[in-house]
Amino acid sequence: MDSDQITELVEDIAARARRASLELATLPSETKNKFLAALADRLVAESGAIIEANALDLEAAEALELSAPMVERLTFTPERIAAMAEGVRQVASLPDPVGAEIEKLDPPKGFDLRKIRVPMGVIGIIYESRPNVTVDCAVLCLKSGNASILRGGKEAFHSNMKLAEIIRETLAATGISEDAVQLIPTTDRWALNALLKQDKTVHCIIPRGGESLIRFTVENSRIPVIKHYTGVCSVYIDAAADADMAESILINAKCQRPSVCNAAENLIVHQGAAELLPRLAKALHDNGVELRVDAKAKALLLASGLPLTDATEEDFHTEYNDLIISITVVADTAEAVQFINTRGSGHSDAIITGDAESAARFLNGVDSATVYHNASTRFTDGFEFGLGAEIGISTDRLHARGPMGLNELCTYKYVIHGKGEIK
């Protein structure tokens, strides 16, 4: 297809999504939940077909020269499909946000005035690599009464197409418009350009992927964008940290799944916990992590015999998405807070300490969407927060921040019941 044909395709998708969104806004909760339950069952039943489609993407990954962590993000297994289906069931079990009363006001005239939660309308989601996003975003949008337009990356094209087929078939079987969830059936870059211009029919864009994709989206969109650019997350080991807990949380935050945005990229150690650093560095090394150290950390680790790489200032601003970590040593918690606020990305940061005062100083001072005391940054996730699947993680300050669940996919309107009042 040429650019004019792609533009026409995207305009048609957006127009149909808008019509579907008006129907979804008044769809009963029972109908939405019936669809979600049926979809969860279909995903499990179709596991073989999903994995077969996914195999085509994995075969192409080699030609695309994807890194091992990126391939890991792309891969479907029966266990991951089952977990994805469980996320759908969890969304079904959550309260329907549409129509919920946010606030009852008391206007001077005395009429009944309430602020009511309503869907945004049409939400466009742009994403790369992770095909589970197709299902996560579709179900969250539908449960919150929104139509969704999905634009996945070429890395997961076959997986996304199969999942979209299952979703649309389930919508039809439940009596819901198939236009409620649409996947743009091309990975041509022009489709993204066209989608970002549909400000008459699309109400919000949520990009999920690398920083370059997100910056391109923000710079070219006529539609409001909710996003986070990078996930530069830090784990700070305070002087009062328990050694076993510090090691356990650090290894989980860095190594459990290094390719995701809530994995730790920086290790910050209080000088009062300097004796812990060789142990922590060895644990990281034993788990295959490359150690990039500043001068202070290097001085404490020279005797360890571990392979060390000198860290640059840029390293502490970098989301590696890989088994690499940058390490520094600070004088106190105040310096750790300043370090994170100047080098982090406002995503997720953790302090490991038994000192309540240090914990409070960190939690209050770090300007991030999610802050942790004695827990791994890997919990910044809609499912882990009990929101069901998430549509994204926002580091913005307007409308939504942190994992975005059902409530964050709604706006509101004022509903007035009068008794003949006039002004």
- Look up the domain containing 220 and give its range: 3-226+404-417
Residue 148 has φ and ψ, to the nearest 5°, of -130, 145
Q: Are 95 and 214 within one domain?
A: yes
In a domain, 385, yes or no: no
343 CB burial (10 A radius; 0-12, 13-18, 19+): buried
Q: Are 177 and 290 within one domain?
A: no
Q: Are 128 and 237 within one domain?
A: no
Q: Are strands 112-119 and 410-417 parallel, antiparallel or unpaired?
A: antiparallel
Q: Which CATH number characterizes residue 13's domain? A: 3.40.605.10
DSSP class of 317: G
Answering whether pTM is above 0.95, one says: no
Question: 369 near 259, Cβ under 8 Å?
Answer: no
pLDDT tens profile 58-117: 999 888 888 887 888 899 999 999 999 998 999 999 999 999 999 999 999 899 999 999
Question: 257 near 369, Cβ under 8 Å?
Answer: no
Q: What is the pLDDT of residue 64?
A: 85
In a domain, 397, yes or no: no
331's torsion region: left (phi>0), alpha (psi -120 to 50) or beta? alpha
What would the mean pLDDT of 28-46 be, rounded to a whole number? 98
Q: Are 238 and 220 within one domain?
A: no
Q: Are 349 and 213 within one domain?
A: no
In a domain, 392, yes or no: no
In a domain, 422, yes or no: no
Q: Are 178 and 279 within one domain?
A: no
pLDDT grade, residue 387 (50/70/90)?
A: confident
Q: Are 215 and 303 within one domain?
A: no
pLDDT grade, residue 389 (50/70/90)?
A: low
Q: Are 40 and 155 within one domain?
A: yes
Closest CA relative to residue 373, chosen from 348, 352, 403: 352
Q: What is the pLDDT of residue 335?
A: 98
How far, rounded to the nearest angstrom, does the alpha carbon of residue 147 sit from its chain's CA centroid? Answer: 19
Q: What is the pLDDT of residue 388?
A: 64
DSSP class of 16: H
Q: What is the pLDDT of residue 208?
A: 87
Return the HEC string of 196-224.
CCCCCCCCEEEEECCHHHHHHHHHHCCCC
Q: Which CATH number characterizes residue 335's domain? A: 3.40.309.10
Helix H segments across 112-221?
132-143, 157-174, 189-195, 211-220
pLDDT tens profile 293-324: 999 999 999 999 999 999 999 999 999 989 99
Three-class secondary structure of residue 397 per DSSP: coil
Q: Are 212 and 255 within one domain?
A: no
As for how many domains the chain has, the answer is 2
In a domain, 384, yes or no: no
Q: Are 40 and 116 within one domain?
A: yes
Structure-token match 């942190």, residue found: 402
Q: What is the pLDDT of residue 400?
A: 87
Question: 114 near 101, Cβ under 8 Å?
Answer: yes
Q: What is the pLDDT of residue 391?
A: 83
* Other Cβ atoms closer than 10 A to 42: 17
In a domain, 423, yes or no: no
Among 10-14, 356-360, 362-366, 417-421, whose mean pLDDT is lowest?
417-421
In a domain, 85, yes or no: yes
Q: What is the pLDDT of residue 370?
A: 96
Helix H segments across 188-317?
189-195, 211-220, 243-255, 277-286, 295-301
Q: Are 198 and 296 within one domain?
A: no
Q: Are 195 and 126 within one domain?
A: yes
Distances (CA, A) of 313 to 158, 231, 318, 347, 421: 40, 17, 9, 19, 64
Separation CA 107–CA 370 (nearest Å): 36
pLDDT tens profile 390-412: 788 898 888 889 988 899 999 99
In a domain, 175, yes or no: yes
Helix, strand, coil distribution of the chain in percent, nearest 5: 50, 20, 35
Three-class secondary structure of residue 4 per DSSP: helix
What would the mean pLDDT of 149-167 be, rounded to a whole number? 96
